[in-house]
Amino acid sequence: MEGLVGHFLDSPFRFCLHCRVAYDFRTTSDFGKLTSRHRGRSTATTILSLATIRHLRKEQSLDPRARKLLSFTDNRQDASLQAGHFNDFVEIGLLRSALLKACATANPVGLSHEVFTQRVYDALSLPFASFSKEPDLKFQAKTQTERAFRDVIGYRLYHDLRRGWRVTSPNLEQCGLLEINYLSLDELSKDTDSWQKLHPALADAKPETRLAVEDPS
């Protein structure tokens, strides 16, 4: 029995049919996936610090230079961890807010893949100097730098929309603030010929069942 338990804990639990979460191969232990999660000091520190700074910015009785927050830690590793968490939190917050703004200002049909990244880039409205090492670039050099930055934004957006990526900060689709649709999904679900060579459970299924399998969201 002990050997079976050890094998169970070491075997990768790749999918959760109830939560619809997919785990990567780096998480090899099932114990952390099947038990409750307690997180986390870094997230709590970031949220409390952000709330404190927002309150300080509204405090008119203090000099603007005094509206700061100083944090202490007892080791370099924890300091670097918290600094990285701060940066990641701010970056994801900016991307998600820009994505939500781009979707809110789009037409009722939504945003297609072709204009998705450009609309989010426009919604960010970041000054050129904030993402370029050479803020004085002109002409084609400036155009290429802007194009490279848009490509990075597109990669980070799709990376953030993966399911199960952030436990304490689910993405906009998981929160119900964003809906992703797929072209021709309804037509494919109703096309019987496309399913004949597949498993009988799909070949004989109703279009509604196929659609639910193809789009589990």
Residues 85 and 129 grouped into a single domain: yes
Residue type for position 48: L
**Mean pLDDT rounded to a whole number for the chain:** 82
Residues 185 and 97 grouped into a single domain: no
Q: First CA to last CA across the chain, in angstroms?
A: 38
- What total number of domains does the chain contain? 3
DSSP 69-96: -----SSHHHHHHHHHHHHHHHHHHHHH
Residues 173 and 206 grouped into a single domain: no
Residues 67 and 147 grouped into a single domain: yes
Residues 22 and 41 grouped into a single domain: no
Q: What is the mean pLDDT of residues 94-98?
A: 93
Residues 122 and 200 grouped into a single domain: no
Residues 95 and 192 grouped into a single domain: no
Q: Which domain holds residue 24?
A: 1-36
Residues 119 and 18 grouped into a single domain: no
Residues 167 and 205 grouped into a single domain: no
Residues 84 and 175 grouped into a single domain: yes
Residues 116 and 175 grouped into a single domain: yes
How does residue 215 score in pLDDT terms, banded at 50, 70 and 90?
low
pTM of the predicted protein model: 0.68
The residues with which 22 forms a beta bridge, in sequence order, are: 15
For 12-68, write each residue's pLDDT tens digit: 677 777 777 777 666 666 666 666 555 567 888 888 888 998 999 888 888 888 888
Q: 111-115, 137-141, 213-217: lowest mean pLDDT where?
A: 213-217
Q: How far apart are CA 168 and CA 42, in angstroms?
A: 11
User: Which residues, in sequence order, are CB contacts of 196 under 8 Å at separation 6+?
Assistant: 203
Residues 55 and 92 grouped into a single domain: yes
pLDDT given at position 37 = 55
